[in-house]
Chains A and B, each alone.
Chain A
Amino acid sequence: MRQAAMATFAAAETAELRVALESMGSTDAVEIRKPETGLVMVRGRIGGDGAPFNVGEATVTRCVVRIASGETGFSYILGRDHEKGRLAALCDALWQNRDRRAEIDTLIIAPVRQRLAREREESRARTDATRVDFFTLVRGED
């Protein structure tokens, strides 16, 4: 699914994208919208179902490129890294091309997802070590 692929490119490190794309060769692209940085308002809900409120503004960089075979790739990433914005858009464009998708899947999406899952698991394990279970003693008054 493209949405999930784009999310993975956005979560990848700049170096991961750069190294993988360099190993793929011919990835020339025209920048239709050069990388540009702006702010987006992040909204949230307490507990997932409360009234929506503005959490705060996040710095976002976006970019649009077109590759030689005609696909247009988009990226919206957190932060101000213009190079990453361009690389993520390039990945999205290549991912849409049938002939290049497999390469992108094996060189970028799979390893990045693996790394993210590992990091999430490590963080979960660290947090789990300090878990405190609360329970209430029933006083039996009524």
Chain B
Amino acid sequence: MPAISPAFANPVFDTQATFRAVMDAMARPGETRAVPAALTPPAPLSPSAAALALTLLDYETPFWLDAALAEVDDVARWLKFHTGATATANPEQAVFAFAADPLALPPLGAFSQGTPDFPDRSTTLILQVAAFTGGLPLTLSGPGVAGRRVFAPSPVPPDFAVDLRANTGRFPCGVDIIFAGPGSVAALPRSTRIATMRTDEDR
């Protein structure tokens, strides 16, 4: 059996700190929050995405990995060992989906959208990005945003803005997205309204 690297040094405090960061990030779409990142998960899983996994996953939450993560067996093994969660190849069955290569992400509609009775059953997407600035500029408005906020994660999938708007249109269904950047996270919940800088017609 290949070596599995350790998880958090202080599981209770570190997962609480990470949970707090995710909760605040969800409440303030597009703002970044620092997460504890002293982890050495198997590449290409990033330390911040690993911190989210250790905090959010348990035996009841099947996870889906994109092609970049799935081709390294150690990633799924590490997640299963530390969280007890099971892997699924079907994005519709995943409670959490991890993507190391946002450019190859399937459309957001491919994931579980929840149902009108149980919108909470949708997939939460964890997208590893290199930066929160300098990418596709999105103008955010809606709950948790005072006025407008510009958020430009990089890299993002092609046609991401169109896909995000379709996702918002499915409210109360739809997926929530957490961006895992180096050392910090940001989020785009399904309730956030999105406009790109150039076509600012969306309200």
Contact = CB atoms under 8 A, between A and B. Distances in A.
Interface of A: 30-34, 36, 66, 70, 72
Contacts of B11: 34, 36
B1 A33 contact: no
Given A34-B11, A36-B11, A66 B3 contact: yes
Q: Which 9 A-B pairs have the closest CB atoms?
A: A32-B6, A32-B4, A72-B1, A31-B6, A66-B3, A30-B6, A34-B11, A70-B3, A33-B7
Interface in B1-43: 1, 3-7, 11
B15 to A, nearest CB: 12
Contacts, number: 20
Interface of B, secondary structure class, is loop
A32 B5 contact: yes
Nearest to B10: A34
B121 interface: no
Interface residues of B, number: 9
A86 to B, nearest CB: 13
Contacts of B3: 66, 70, 72
Contacts of B81: 32-33
B165 interface: no
B82 interface: yes
Contacts of B5: 32
Interface in B154-187: none
Given A33-B82, A34-B11, A36-B11, A72 B4 contact: yes
A70 B6 CA distance: 14
Nearest to B82: A33
B106 to A, nearest CB: 33
A4 B11 CA distance: 31
B42 to A, nearest CB: 13
A7 B4 CA distance: 24
11 contacts: A30-B6, A31-B6, A32-B6, A32-B81, A33-B6, A33-B7, A33-B81, A33-B82, A34-B6, A72-B1, A72-B3
A70 B3 CA distance: 7
A16 B128 CA distance: 48
Contacts of A36: 11
Contacts of A66: 3-4
Contacts of A32: 4-7, 81
Contacts of B4: 32, 66, 72
A22 to B, nearest CB: 24
A107 B79 CA distance: 36
Nearest to B9: A34
